[in-house]
Amino acid sequence: MKMPLVKAAVVAVFCFLLAGVAKADTTCSSTTPPFVCFTFTNVGSDGPGVFDVMMEATISNPSSTGFGSFAVNFNGATSVNLESFPSGGGWAFIGNHSNNPGGCNLSSSPTFTFCFQGLSNLTSGTPLDFVFDVSEGSAPTSTHIQAFQGGPLAISNDVGIGAPPSVPEPGSLSLLGLGLLGLPYLRRRRS
């Protein structure tokens, strides 16, 4: 009876090791502190042609840094709406503008660039999460982030957008678990 339980445990561990975590794409302002990093991940869809993209901003500096504006460029997007943002930030879409040291550069109007302003503090180890509704023909695969212009955290980089995480449904995991529990009872006893 011991051997089937050991085999079932080995199979279960093997199954969980094969389940990988989706890798999102990240870009950072520098490789030496202080630096800020932005990670973009597709997190789903709100219907035909509208895709949810999450942007996570993190900072390496242990002190708090004011974060007041950024611009994103989803090439081909007809609109980008801010679906959710960190509480208390009062973030809002300002228009099709690039980002400069004063915030959204109101004298610029590049196509497909969407500038947002608000106020949040970046603290080391505490990411700020923003979710966008991106209206585009297909799921976006890359963007351009521009923020902190004119300072040590200045960033203006292209970055890929990671695929949505592949997470098994709870029902599938339950069936797998029940199947593994039943493995030892498949063996017939010999008289």
Per residue in 7-56, pLDDT (tens digit) is 655 554 444 444 444 456 899 998 888 899 999 999 999 889 999 999 99
CATH number for region 23-163: 2.60.40
Strands 50-59 and 65-73: unpaired
pTM (whole model) above 0.85? no
Q: Residue 28: what pLDDT?
A: 94
Domains in the chain: boundaries: 23-163
Per residue in 91-110, pLDDT (tens digit) is 999 999 999 999 999 998 88
Give the 3-state secondary structure of residue 24: coil
